Chains A and B, each alone.
Chain A
Amino acid sequence: MAAEIKRRKILVLGATSALGYEALKHFAKDGDQFFLVARNPKRLETVADDLKVRGAGKVETLQADFNDFDRHPKLIAQAVSALGGLTTVLIAHGLLPDQGACQKDYALTEEALRVNFLSEVSLLTIIANQFEEQKQGEIAVITSVAGDRGRASSYVYASAKAALDTFLSGLRNRLAKSNVQVLTIKPGLIETPMTANLERKPLIVKPTGVGRDIYKAILKKKEVLYTPWWWRIIMAVLVCIPEKIFKRTNL
């Protein structure tokens, strides 16, 4: 067993995402340090102020667009120098594209894949190498239960998340011997700005409990987290349905 991480130094990509923020609240209480990255500076400030009140040891912010891949190495270097190293990375950014629009226009599909898969891969490539070298670290990435099976209503988004799931599972395998945790977080349908425009919202829940689940999963060194828990069962059933039947369903 390696030494337990006492005070975390957390890099958060997509710090203003509802799920990311809910998880950060718990870390702030522990007095952890944060380097928050997001696109909207005012939201970033709101989250930073909040974490400070909640007890965060240190909060640094950086406004950045994750689609600017060239900036990724510098961005991570900035985080490392601001916090004096990193123990933990939480990737929470993402975008729910309009499936209908993506079907008509490949450019939109490509953009969705860039935001939901390629930008994560670019960032993780750098982070993985660093953590592998320092032989310690926690990587947590928010994907989605949607990635477990493609459905007509959301397969562009789902395929990006599925690709990310597979990437993470491989990364976990590689980094296991370097004592680096890789956590795949698979939330179900959560009431956030991202899902505000959806038509159907079966079993939707508020993000508070999801944040607590993420926090606990990182502490417990879990590999894959379905949250809320019942999505593990739902998806387990869903993936069992043969394609012959599944293709006729309307889910």
Chain B
Amino acid sequence: MFHTKAYLRNQYECWGRVFRFEHGIEPVFWRDEAPKLESLPGPLLPYGMGRSYGDVCLNSGGVLLDTSYLNHFLTFDPQTGLLRCEAGVTLFEILDQFVPEGWFLPVTPGTKYVTVGGAIANDVHGKNHHVGGTFGCHVKRLELLRSSGERFLCSAEENAEMFRATIGGLGLTGLILWADIQLKKIEGPWIHMETEKFSNLDEFFGITEASDEAFELTAAWIDCATQTRGFQRGIVIRGNYGHEGAHKKSARAKGPRVAVPFDLPGFCMNRTVLRMFNAVYAGKQRKKRETGRVHYESFFYPLDILGNWNRLYGKKGFYQYQCMVTDDKKHSGCKALMKKVSDRRMDSFLAVLKKCGPIKSPGLLSFPREGIAVAMDFPNGGEKLLKFFKELDAIVQDYDGCVNLSKDARMPPESFKVFYPQWENFGKLKDPKFSSSFWRRVTGEAG
């Protein structure tokens, strides 16, 4: 039944597409009739939308448990906003259903095309981290199916260790069947957005500090390409949920407007294109500060408008490097990173800064902690790029930071063990039959 090749060519891949692996596919159609995991050969790994950039969602030579059919809502309490849904439900479906009813995701990453299971397994965070923490902070309870056939109800009270390991557990603790998510009350689909330009990092930190109290949602876009010319320009984007209601129709989620139909030739994402893109983006905003009311779609998910945008990077794919460095008065960690980027003349298409807050996630392996998160996309540049990443790793290590596993496609095992010293503890809670290409890569464990 499985080991049929992936249905559509390239269907089961990771978002950055620097890896292409063969997998056996085992769809999970009903949560009460999950396949007998014990009798499946090889290592197993749940697969949702494949939006992880690297190999945390891949399982070369093993079996992917396709969860896209676990897409049912179970219950919803309109008084409290507590939603119970299966793990394959996407954030798109939750928004589409519940924004018109006045509820929003407690935390959302930059795309709505991820499953609830994936959001838990990668313990995603978003623009409200400084006040809302990670996605895992809002998961009240979940059911986990282990390869032994046992089912565990996990929460902060019951099977608490397993619960903590599953949040941010990269799908390695078993198959999440359903979860209870606490949604957030909103009054309408609108966000009051305010954008403010900055021209150096100190200015960025100044604006961010002032914004974090007044705004629930903050993040910043930074133009790496100008750094080599001695300045850093960027825009802080911040917002609050608006109070106006809307027609049912405008509150609904929107699908991609256009999609990239095929892989662009690799040379399309070159330095000139990048500079032009960044110049246009920065030039769009003339005034120092602009305010306006926008739909949540364009505020949270600007890239979702363009389907398959990862194809812009061509066949060779791309890397995202996302790291976290602790912050001090001089913001030296973040500055050291940015300096390295400009010294090495490595241009990133999209670079995003986010100041993360002190709210701790229950997750054992979770990425976000208090400090500055930096995310940068780079077209696959081979050895030279990998060497550059190692240099960044060293800086991250100096500033007690870590690199995000859900974005990673290259981290050396030594770095993993330094960034996540709790990994051995996690290993004990991992399901013995579950594994991923990522896990084998960083731990050296046999498949």
Contact = CB atoms under 8 A, between A and B. Distances in A.
A50 B72 contact: yes
Contacts of B389: none
B210 interface: no
B420 interface: no
A191 B31 contact: no
Nearest to A207: B69
A43 interface: yes
B75 A42 contact: no
Nearest to B69: A18
Given A42-B30, A46-B30, A53 B7 contact: no
B73 A50 contact: yes
B342 interface: no
B27 A47 contact: no
A18 B97 CA distance: 19
B7 A42 contact: no
Contacts of A201: 4, 7
Given A18-B69, A197-B1, A42 B32 contact: yes
A47 B69 CA distance: 12
A53 B76 contact: yes
B32 A46 contact: yes
Given A196-B27, A206-B68, A50 B97 contact: no
Interface string B1-38: 10010011000000000000000000101111100000
Contacts of B73: 49-50, 53-54
A174 to B, nearest CB: 37
Report which residue of A43, A49, A53, A198 has the largest number of chain B beta carbons within 10 angstroms of its beta carbon: A53
A196 B1 contact: yes
B189 to A, nearest CB: 16
Interface residues of B, number: 19
A84 interface: no
Interface in B71-107: 72-76, 83, 97
B8 A199 contact: no
A77 interface: no
A42 B30 CA distance: 9
Interface residues of A, number: 21
A219 interface: no
Contacts of A193: 27, 29, 69
A15 to B, nearest CB: 12
A123 B237 CA distance: 59
Nearest to A49: B74
A234 interface: no
Contacts of A47: 72
Contacts of B74: 46, 49-50, 53
A46 B72 contact: yes
Interface of B: 1, 4, 7-8, 27, 29-33, 68-69, 72-76, 83, 97
22 contacts: A29-B97, A42-B32, A43-B32, A43-B33, A46-B30, A46-B31, A46-B32, A46-B72, A49-B74, A49-B75, A50-B73, A50-B74, A53-B73, A53-B76, A53-B83, A191-B7, A191-B27, A193-B27, A193-B29, A193-B69, A197-B1, A204-B8
Given A50-B72, A193-B29, 8 more contacts: A49-B73, A49-B75, A50-B74, A53-B75, A193-B27, A197-B1, A199-B4, A206-B68
